[in-house]
Amino acid sequence: MSEVKIKNLDHLGIVAGLIDEIGIVEIINSKLGIDPREKISAGTVVKAILINGLGFVSRPLYLFSQFFEDKGIEELLGEEIKTDYINDDKIGRVMDELYKHGLNDNFIEVVLSVIKKFKIETKYSHLDATSFHLYGEYKSEEKKEKEEEEMIKERPIIITKGYSRDHRPDLKQCVLDLITTQDGDVPLFVRVGDGNEADKAVFGKILVEFKKQIKFDSIMVCDSALYIAFPKLVRYTCFSSPLPFASCLLPKTHNFCTSAD
């Protein structure tokens, strides 16, 4: 009589199935390539990272493979995959390759695949920011250049105190800027910023960068921080924004549709 082993899938089977339906593994492999000598492809490693993240587990990277020891890894990642293939060295190499190829480019390609496969309506998009408070000193250089800088700049974000949306002004934080579709809240653009960043200082640049990467028209819905950035947006986008409280203009909401033409 053969030995029977029981493995768990929990909700992760749904996650793995959705990853397969979107085609994330194929997208990553097409970008990074497949080495016939490797035991596990870069796309499958990314799939494992996503499954691990949505399993709500936070452990050091060298313990990553332990997450799959009691899971049905053959069903989640493939029959030929073993847990020791997903080690910190392999994950580190894949993450380095993803960074070199451009995280935004990879993300946008996945987004476009989702929009196409699930027929997501993109007439309206929403931009907003939130903050995540962190514990610890996070000593870092907080002096910044005052001159205009690129949206995507190769430097660490600054963990520092700023306007706290979760009512913890005593703690340092970072900021997350997110653009989603109105239909289904599908993320279209993600950016992490310094903890003391002001929405009105960056929202205009975010939309300019977003418009460069997304090639379809979408009316952007945002708060009054976007209205302040209006001069920077004249040639790039359509948006709807309430007027700032300090404005002396009477209408409470303005719609702006601008074109390079």
Number of domains composing the chain = 2
Which residue range(s) make up the domain with 215? 116-138+151-257
Mark whether 167 and 199 lie in a shared domain.
Answer: yes
Mark whether 81 and 161 lie in a shared domain.
Answer: no
Task: Report which of residues 233 and 122 the model is more confident about.
Answer: 122
Mark whether 181 and 233 lie in a shared domain.
Answer: yes
Task: Report which of residues 39 and 146 the model is more confident about.
Answer: 39
pLDDT digits (tens, 9 = 90+) for 179-218: 999 999 999 999 999 999 998 888 888 888 888 888 788 8
pLDDT of residue 189: 92
**pTM higher than 0.85:** no
Mark whether 130 and 243 lie in a shared domain.
Answer: yes
The residue assigned the tokens 């009105």 is 200
Q: Do the Cβ atoms of 191 and 197 come closer than 8 Å?
A: no
- In a domain? residue 110: no
Mark whether 77 and 120 lie in a shared domain.
Answer: no
Mark whether 78 and 130 lie in a shared domain.
Answer: no
Mark whether 122 and 251 lie in a shared domain.
Answer: yes
- For every residue of 59-125, DSSP letters joined together read --GGGGGGGGTTB-HHHHT-TT--GGGS-HHHHHHHHHHHHHH-HHHHHHHHHHHHHHHTT---SEE
Q: What is the mean pLDDT of residues 99-110?
A: 88
Mark whether 75 and 120 lie in a shared domain.
Answer: no
- Distance, in Å, from the CA atom of 258 to the CA atom of 91, rounded to the nearest integer, reads 44
pLDDT digits (tens, 9 = 90+) for 70-87: 999 999 999 889 999 999
Task: Report which of residues 149 and 101 the model is more confident about.
Answer: 101
